[in-house]
Chain A
Amino acid sequence: MQVSREIKNGVQVITLSGKLDGTTSPKAQEEILASLDTASQVVIDMSRCSYVSSAGLRVLLNLAKILARNSGQGVLAGLVAEVADVMKITGFGNVFPCYADVDTGIAALKRKK
C-alpha cells in the first residue's frame, strides 16, 4: 500500500495504491493523517486501490469522523466497482460522497466551498 499526496487545483489529493487490509491499514492511516490537513478539503483517489478489507473500511470511516470533527470535507474518487459494492453492502456506502474521478471530486468540493 502506497500513500501519496499532491495538491491539485488547490485541493489535497491523497492517492491510495494497492490493498488496504489488516496488514497495511495501521501504517496507511498513520501516513494519511501525517500528511493531511484535516481542517481542509480532500479527495481520496481510490482508483488504484484494488481491495479494502474490514480494517481498511475502518480507516476510511475514521478519516471521515476526523474530517467532520475538524470541519474538513472529504470525497472518494474512482472507486473500483467491487470495492464500491463491498462498501455499500457492508454499510460503509454513506461514509463519503463518491465521484467517478479526481477531477469531478475536486469540482464537487469547490461547489461546496
Chain B
Amino acid sequence: MMTRVDSYPTHIYKEFKLRPGRPLPFGATIVPGGVNFSIYSSHAIDCELVLFRKHEPKAFARIPFMRDFKIGNVYTMVVFDLDYENLEYGYTMDGPFDPGRGHRFDGTRILMDPYAKATGGRDEWGKEPDWNNVYQHRARIAFDDFDWEGDHPLEIPFEDLIVYELHVRSFTCHESSQVKHKGTFAGIVEKIHYLKELGVNCIELMPIHAFDEFENSRLSPATGKRLMNYWGYSNLGFFAPKAGYAATGKFGMEIDELKNLVRELHRNGIEVLLDVVFNHTAEGNEQGPYISYRGIDNQTYYMLTPEGYYFNFSGCGNTLNCNNPIVRNMILDCLRYWASEYHIDGFRFDLASILGRDQNGAPMNNPPLLESLAFDPVLGKCKLIAEAWDAGGLYQVGSFPNWGRWAEWNGRFRDDVRRFVKGDAGLAKAIIQRVEGSPDLYHSQGRSTSSSINFITCHDGFTLMDLVSYNDKHNEANGEDNRDGSNDNCSWNCGCEGATDDPGIAFLRRKQMKNAVTILMVSQGIPMLLSGDELGNTQFGNNNAYCQDNEISWLDWTLLEANQELYNYFKNMIAFRHAHPVLRGKEHFRNVDYVASGYPDISWHGTRAWQADVSEHSRCVAYLLCGKHAKSGTCEDSTIYVAMNMHWEMHGFELPAPPPGENWHVFANTDLAPPCDIWGVGHEQPLVNEQQVLAGPRSVLVLVAK
C-alpha cells in the first residue's frame, strides 16, 4: 500500500510531532499516524490544545496552535503518535472578556470540543464526580468503525409507525425488570422481545446525548432523597452519547453499546428516534459554568440581548443561537452524524419552535435551519418531529414551518381526547377532527395525516394510570412546593384521589385507560405511547418527574402480572392497528365515496345511524371507515365501525348497515370484563342484534364487518 506524503510530521513542539491539520471535519479525527484536531472560533485570538490521560486531573501537555495551523477562523493540527484510546483533550481560548458585546473569553478555562464524539467525566451513572477537577466534562476520541453487519435504517412508512417513548434508565432500572444491565442501552436489548410482543415498531429515546446528572443536584426537602437532572434535557455536547447510559461506559465503550442497541432493534423491525435538545445547553445563564460554547465563542453560540445577557426562550437559562449560520451548520453536522454513524431513523426536536427564531429571538417565516433540515440529503429519509412550541410563548401546533417534511407532537390531540374521555361536554366536533388526523390543523396546508403525532401521555405530565387516578398533580417530592409541572392536566381521578381498594373505581380506571388507548389506535396519524402505560405504571401523581431517579420514575415490571388485563388490551389494540391499513391512511379523508363502494371513506354517526350529533351536549359519536377506501383506495381492508360513548349513562347506537354479504362483529368493548373486552385480530365475535349496539357508560366499541 502507498504511504501518503501527508502522513509525516512537519513541525516539532517539545516532544510532540505535528503538522498543519485539515479544517474539515471539525472535531478530533483519527488519521494515519495521529489525530487531526479542528475547532473554530470567530472571536478568539489564541488557542491551545490541552491533553490529558484518561481520568487524570492534570494535563500532560499543552500544545499551542502555531500560526501555520490556523485557516480562517479554524484552528487545526495533526498530533502524531498519540495513544488516543487513553486520551482526553480540551482547548483553552484567549479573547476579550466584554459581556456587553457578548464576549466571555477566559483563557484559564479548559473547554470541551463542541464536536466531541465521546465524553468522559460522568462515565458511570450517579458516581460522585471529583468536584475539584478543573476539567469536568472531557472530550474523548471515538472509534467510528463499528461493524454494522449489513444494518440499514428501516425506513418504515411514517403512517405505519407506532411510537413508544422511553427513558433509558426508567425502562429497566427497577429490580423487577430482571435484566442483567439495569438502566442501560444493553438493558433495552434484553427487553426487545417484550417490545416485539407488545407490537410497537419504533422507540423514541428521551435524551441520550451527553448530559450531567449532577447538574443542579440537591436533596429533596420533602423526601430527603437526592434529586438529579434525571431526564437529561440539558446537553453538554450534541455528538456524544451519555456514557452513564451504557453498562460499558466505565470502559469508554458507550458508542459501540448504543450502536449494538440500534442494530438489534433494527433486526427486530423496530426503528429508533432520538429526542434531541438543540434549544439550550447546560451552561445556563450569566452565573452558569464554562463547559464549552461560552468560552469558545459566546456571541456565536447564544442568543443575547442587546446588553449581552442570555435570552431564555427555553426556560433553562440560555438559548442556543440556532439560526446563526455557524450554529446552524453544527446542528446539521450533528444530525447527519447520528443518522449516518448511528443509523438513527429520525429525531424529535425538543421545544422546536426555538429553532425557528432569529438571532434576536423573533419568530421567522422561513427559518433557514428548519429548511436546511427539511431538504438535507443525508437526512432525506429521517423522520423529523417538532415539539411545536417553546417556553417563550410560541405555540405552533398546526403551523410549524414544515416544507411537507416536518411532523408535530399534536398537543391538541392530547388535550381534546383527555377532556372527551373524562366526560367534558362540547368536544364532539373536536374529536371528529382528532380521529381524522386533525385535518383542521394540517389538511389546508396540504400536509398529510403523518404530520400529526397523536398522543395522550408522554414523559411530560401524568402517566395514563395517573391521568385516571388524580385530579391534581402531586409533585412535593420535587422539592418545589408543588409549584413545578403543569396545572392543566385534563385529568379525572374517577372518584378517589390516588390509590384505592374500591373495585368499582378500579374497574372504571381500567376502562378509561382502555378507552384512551382505543381512541389513540383508531385515529389517523401516528400514535405514540408512553412506556409503562400498558402496565398501568404510576408516578404516584407526580406529573414532572424530571429529577426523580427512583421508584417514582422506574417502571415496575411486577405490574405486568398485576395488570395483565390492561397489557393484553394494549397488545391487541396495537395488533388491530397493524392489521388494518384503513386506520393508517396517509391522505386525509375526502368524506365522499370515490371508489364506488356505497360508503364514503369515512362517515360519522351517533346514537342514530348516519346522524352525527355534534351539539354542545353530545358525548356520543361513532364513525364508519370503509375498507375499500383503505390507503386512498389502493388496498382493501375490512370495514370498521367505532362507537364512543363518553357519557356516564348507557346509550344504544343504531348501526349503519355493513357491506352486502357481511355482518358486524365485535372486536373490542371496553365496558366488558375479559375476555369479552377485546377478542384479538381474527377472533371478532358476531353481534346478536345487527340493528343496534349498546355502549355502556363511558365506553368504546370497535366492530369489524366480515
Contact = CB atoms under 8 A, between A and B. Distances in A.
A61 B86 CA distance: 20
B85 A22 contact: yes
B387 interface: no
Given A53-B251, A58-B143, A61-B147, A92 B256 contact: yes
Interface stretch (B257-265, B269-277, B280-288, B391-399): B257-265
B85 A21 contact: yes
A90 B253 contact: yes
A53 B259 contact: no
Interface string B85-98: 11000000000000
A55 B186 CA distance: 20
A25 B86 CA distance: 12
Q: How large is the interface on B (under 10, 10 to 19, 20 to 34, 35 or more residues)?
A: 20 to 34
A23 B146 CA distance: 20
Interface in A41-88: 53-55, 57-58, 61, 85-86
B508 interface: no
Interface residues of A, number: 18
Contacts, number: 56
Identify which of A21, A61, A86, A90 gathers the most chain B CB atoms within 10 Å of its CB: A90
A23 B83 CA distance: 7
B698 to A, nearest CB: 46
B145 A58 contact: yes
Contact of A54 (B186, B247, B256): B256
Nearest to A94: B149
B608 interface: no
Given A54-B256, A55-B143, A58-B145, A89 B83 contact: no
Contacts of B248: 86, 89-90
Nearest to B189: A89
Interface string A1-43: 0000000000000000000011101000000000000000000
Interface in B169-199: 180-181, 185-186, 189
Given A21-B85, A23-B83, A91-B260, A54 B146 contact: no
Query: Closest 6 A-B residue pairs measured CB to CB?
Result: A22-B85, A91-B260, A90-B256, A89-B186, A55-B85, A90-B253
Given A22-B86, A55-B143, 16 more contacts: A21-B85, A21-B86, A22-B84, A23-B85, A53-B85, A54-B251, A54-B252, A54-B256, A86-B253, A89-B247, A89-B248, A90-B253, A90-B256, A90-B260, A91-B257, A92-B256
13 contacts: A22-B85, A54-B143, A55-B85, A58-B145, A61-B147, A86-B248, A89-B247, A89-B257, A90-B257, A91-B257, A91-B259, A92-B147, A95-B147
